[in-house]
Amino acid sequence: MEAYESEFYFTRLAYSSNGFGRRGGFRSAWTTDFPEAEVHLLQGLSRLTRVATAQQGRIVSLDDDELMNYPWLYAVEVGNWYLDDLQAARLREYLLRGGFLMVDDFWGEFEWRAFYESMVRVFPDRAIIEIPEDDTLLHVLYDLDQRIQIPGAYAARSGITWEKGGTTPHWRGIYGDDGRLMVAINFNMDLGDAWEHADDPYYPEPMTALAYRFAVNYVIYSMSH
């Protein structure tokens, strides 16, 4: 049994790959931006909120008994994930019991289809919709009226904000029967890079600041809903 000494842990999902990941060697797509994204975001949460945050992130898989102890779960590059029926059922249980999943850093229609093929195993009967402007998520602490595409670091250095044909950013979600947002889908954007490169002079500061505000809202929402 793990010790829990903080209110909030940055909890990263370790998932199986569908074989289309771009990571080489022994690294998997789910490790992208690890651990720098965690370190920087946790420092930001400590400065910007009164939430008692852990200093380091944690990694869980869907078959880990510790999964149900964390209200907030982060999955990166989900255009590369694969959930079988058992894993999908486990994620469904986590979400229906009050968990919150944030997915990030996947681009274009090919990666959307790969993400959707696994997500539909989780919730075959629930629609994925654009998050409404008046949703509590967008106003729980910060009023997030700016919908600027948050780019990956490489794209930003190249003077563009998109990758793989994903020119239009989308903030999508899956809701429960009670109206609670269970899955926050950041499509055609890369908040993880914005956190990771928060101290990089080449990465645009306004986009880092916006990525932090979104993260703060996601965390506060997950802990209060």
Cβ contacts of residue 200 below 8 Å, gap of 6+? 153
Residue 5, pLDDT score: 82
Residue 24, pLDDT score: 43
Using 50 as the pLDDT threshold, list the residues of the chain that sit under it. Answer: 1, 21-26
- CB neighbours (10 Å) of residue 201? 6
The predicted-structure confidence for 175-196, as pLDDT tens digits, reads as follows 999 999 999 999 999 999 999 9
∠ CA(153), CA(196), CA(60), 5° rounding?
120
For the chain, domain boundaries: 11-224
Domain 11-224 is in which class? alpha beta
Residue 27, pLDDT score: 60
CB 100 within 8 A of CB 225: yes
The predicted-structure confidence for 130-185, as pLDDT tens digits, reads as follows 999 999 999 999 999 888 999 999 999 888 999 999 999 999 999 999 999 999 99
- CB neighbours (10 Å) of residue 131? 17
Alpha helices in 25-127 (DSSP H): 36-48, 85-96, 108-122
The whole-angstrom separation of Cα 219 and Cα 225 is 10
Q: What is the largest CA-CA distance in the chain?
A: 47
What is the Cβ-side half-sphere exposure of residue 62, based on CA atoms within 13 angstroms? 20
